[in-house]
Amino acid sequence: MLKSTFQTLTWLEENRSLRLLDQRYLPTEELFFECRSLRQVAEAIKTLAVRGAPAIGVAAAYGVVIGVQEATTVENSITTQKFSAIIDELAATRPTAVNLFWALARMKKVGEGGLKKGLDGTQLRDLLLTEAHRIYAEDDQAHRRLGEYGAKLIPTGARILTHCNAGALACAEYGTALGVIRAAQTAGKNVKIYADETRPLLQGSRLTTWELLKEKIPVTLICDNMAAHCMAKGMIDLVIVGADRIAANGDTANKIGTYSVALAAKAHNLPFYIAAPTSTIDFSLAEGSAIPIEERDPDEVRFFGKKQTAPSEVAVYNPAFDVTPAALISAIITEKGIFTPAELSAARESTLKVES
């Protein structure tokens, strides 16, 4: 199966640090950001040096390891209070992507178990590093299985629209929506991708096109407001996007603008698929209205890159995500199989086995 040609996150044991491909500088510069402190990991997540729900979760897991390294005293010990503070600092970085909280819950469980056993700081750090490596490996394996399932839905020669970036840049290694596309291409289906730019931070134009060009998968960039037009012209066969949080009823939060694309797909009778691992499903929330939506800096909208395009004093509303109702979603592609939104609750006990 096609492997990504770049590494989004890498743990450097010799430096006891997390190396990130800094996505703030793509596509013009491929720079790396090495996180050696808890504060650096938290800032990397907040400022989108690393982004995408699965990648945020993996980065946060390694962030816990770095936090414990920092907090370990001369006596080689760490208090329960300090460990909780490390978890809390990372949890406060971004509110919408549930993978962040899923990964931190795993790290907290392992860490608290180690503290109860009386492990010293070094032993606790090593235990947590093993769990972080496990989360990384599970992320990669899940997305490869997800890709294989999703590729079965893709007709040969399909023209696919995707929104934002749900590729290897947004994950440990392989990708969700772009993982499906990679798998379909590997299967010889000769797909063609339309990537919309994804205002205001242009993850589609900056990141998705960069990834696909690296993989030599045909891609055409369009502006966000061109999607419905392209559908009406018969240029699009289906839509695949990722997700940051999926409620129990199938309502899905993804990058702002996804809801508009879903409405356009429904109007043109085109399949609209969500590709996400089961760690993105939040069964504690009955429906999408309960998903917390992050609001970001107004200057992301007042500026286009570094150029100011709106008056400094104009009021700005800048939600980072919107919620697509389950009724607009044809299917949700996971590493456990393909489900309609209505099938999620039933599949929870029998197939998904996801903890709330």
CA torsion sign, 304 to 310 to 311 to 315? negative
Rounded to the nearest 5°, which phi and psi values hold at 23? -75, -5
Q: Of 44, 88, 92, 94, nearest to 64 (Cα)?
A: 88
> Do residues 151 and 180 lie in contact, with contact meaning Cβ atoms separated by under 8 Å?
yes
- According to DSSP, residue 240 is labeled E
Residue 171 gets the label, from left (phi > 0), alpha (psi -120 to 50) or beta, of: beta
Which residues is 167 bridged to in the sheet?
Answer: 175
Distance between CA atoms of residues 45 and 250, nearest Å: 26
- The residue from 139, 140, 244, 322 that is catalytic is 244
Q: Of 166, 336, 320, nearest to 243 (Cα)?
A: 166
Q: Let me know if 88 is a catalytic residue.
A: no
Cβ partners under 8 Å of residue 124, min gap 6: 68, 72, 78, 111, 114, 115
> Do residues 242 and 252 lie in contact, with contact meaning Cβ atoms separated by under 8 Å?
no
Annotated catalytic residues are 244
